[in-house]
Structure 1
């Protein structure tokens, strides 16, 4: 899957909706790398950055992958089903498991942007993100 297709798929999944916010602000997603993992047949890593504008949010989604987040700027509120929301600040990390439903992902600030890098270890050729049915 090429970088443009990956970015488009992620953007669709990360867009806020009018039902979640009066003024939805879509995420700015920049794919950086997708490469097969040496010695692990059928697996690949995808690396990308995500920027939430002030007040930015995403719809509930899942990754069907191991996901590791490192916050570069600002702070984001993250929550997976069964866990309390956490605010992850610059220099901190967050992890999602392949079975997690990412219920909440949003900029913690209404006035400053937030930016984070995402490392995704997934099955080759599978989408990075997919929406949650009935979300």
Structure 2
């Protein structure tokens, strides 16, 4: 954590030691939040072997933290990866397609907390149809 983000306490300790603060993730060049955006934080629990949400997009940026298990994660233009408990992920929102957010584990639940910034008057999540997926297949990272 840089000193710009460090927490400083003057005369702390009257009621015990200070809290321990660990940086678990950051986005150095975070995308713009739409003006007038609504922020919402949700907990998503994926049953064992769940495929998660179909390919979709969000109207604003999304920041998340896997609290248990492991999640398959893939954004348009990036290779698919596994995000494990204690790790973070983010999406810029807007036109970028989020292809995967399924449970990587076949025999146990996975869960993540995500905060989304939704543009006013737009849904939090919009599913992308097969025709658009086909038209944009050249934007998807090669799959192994």
Using structure 2 for the length normalisation, give the TM-score: 0.62
Cα distance in 2 between the residues matched to 1:59 and 1:43 = 24
- Equivalent residues of 2:62, 2:115 under 8 A apart: yes
* Number of residue pairs matched by the alignment: 96
Larger Cα-atom Rg = 2
Structure 2: tracts of 5 or more residues without a match: 1-33, 134-144
Aligned partner of 1:78 among 73, 81, 88: 73
- Cα deviation, 1:50-97, whole Å, max 9, x if unaligned, reads 011000012111112100110011010100111101110111101111
Aligned partner of 1:104 among 100, 107, 111: 100
Alignment of 1:48 with 2:42, yes or no, is yes
Aligned partner of 1:66 among 61, 65, 71: 61
Paired position in structure 2 for 1:117: 113
Structure 1: tracts of 5 or more residues without a match: 1-39
CA RMSD of aligned residues (A): 1.5
Name the structure where strand makes up a greater proportion of residues: 1
Paired position in structure 1 for 2:123: 127
1:41 to partner: Cα distance:
5.1
